[in-house]
Amino acid sequence: MSVSLDDYRDELVQAAPELADTLESTFHEAARVMSPQGLQDYLDGARGMVSLGKGPALVVTWLDEMPVVVKECGEDIIRDVASAILKLASMVSGEVLVLALQTLPTVARRLGDPDLLRGYLQLLHRLSARAPRGLRPMLGVIDELLSKLTLSGLRRWVDFGAEAYRRDLPKQASYFGLESEDSKAVLQQERRGTLFIDNQRRLNFYLRAFWGRDFFLRPTAADFEGFKPFIEAHAMHLSDAVDGVGEVSGLDLYRAMAAHMAAHMVYTREPVS
């Protein structure tokens, strides 16, 4: 399968004339992280941004940011992002759509998993339906939010604000911009001790020192009681956050879980159950 930029060039440049000088290089950069199928989804997504008629910035931002998102979470996410933006387009302005795409690489890095990123996209739609004035201010502080919250914690933080300030637009903006005391209080309440994404590299080095090989670790939303880490498709799925227990730190808990699961992957020859 081959993908020709020429099939899209005229339409994209007409929608965003500034692409005339940069489209070729942008396409080649994308080709470094995408398969032909991924490139087709990427260009089809750009065509979808054009069809929205929300201005050239949306098209340019899609082309610039999606390769970074793909590098973090894989190319299967491209269609999900395109679909999410198309759904949001009927609820929010073009400027907010651009902001959603501009912040997506940061979100992808913080979540570190395509399924969690899909959950985040669903959350954007949910917030837009319940408290659309809250989306822009939240996107402005999303890096800070995800440096302290898991996706599950972010969801609960969003739900509180959307319900509490549904009819109070000024307070809605203040809450989702992390300016109000209520907003900060709920943030602290939902904050977890140790985030997986902040320790993923340490865990990889730790396991490599033990076994002399690499393992694939993925964060998984542990937003229900009784969650247990599991192995699936040769990947270790660990909780996206853990709290320390007594003098045992969250990082040490992660190390124990990862080492235990790695031992199963190395030595277990028959299904456990």
* Distance, CA of 72 to CA of 109 (rounded, Å): 6
Contacts (Cβ under 8 Å, ≥6 apart) of 224: none
Residue the block writes with tokens 């201005």: 55
Q: The dihedral of CA 112, 115, 119, 122: what is its sign?
A: positive
pLDDT at 2: 79
pLDDT at 222: 76
pLDDT at 271: 66
Question: Which pLDDT band holds residue 272 (cuts at 50, 70, 90)?
Answer: low
Q: Residue ranges per domain, the chain? A: 1-128, 131-191, 195-267
43's enclosing H/E stretch is helix 36-52
Contacts (Cβ under 8 Å, ≥6 apart) of 176: 131, 133, 134, 135, 137, 138, 141, 158, 161, 183
pLDDT at 236 over 90: no
What is the pLDDT of the chain when averaged over all its residues? Answer: 91
* Distance, CA of 22 to CA of 185 (rounded, Å): 45
**Spatial contact of 156 and 149, defined as CB atoms under 8 Å apart:** no
Q: At what angle do helices 77-88 and 36-52 cross, to 10 degrees?
A: 10
Please state the rounded mean pLDDT for residues 65-85: 96
pLDDT in tens, 123-173: 999 999 999 899 999 999 999 999 999 999 999 999 999 999 988 888 999
pLDDT at 217 over 80: yes
* Distance, CA of 227 to CA of 210 (rounded, Å): 26
pLDDT at 269 over 80: no
Please state the rounded mean pLDDT for residues 14-21: 95
* Distance, CA of 4 to CA of 6 (rounded, Å): 5
pLDDT at 247: 86
pLDDT in tens, 61-72: 999 999 999 999
Q: What is the pTM of this model?
A: 0.84
pLDDT at 273 over 60: no
pLDDT in tens, 36-64: 999 999 999 999 999 999 999 999 999 99
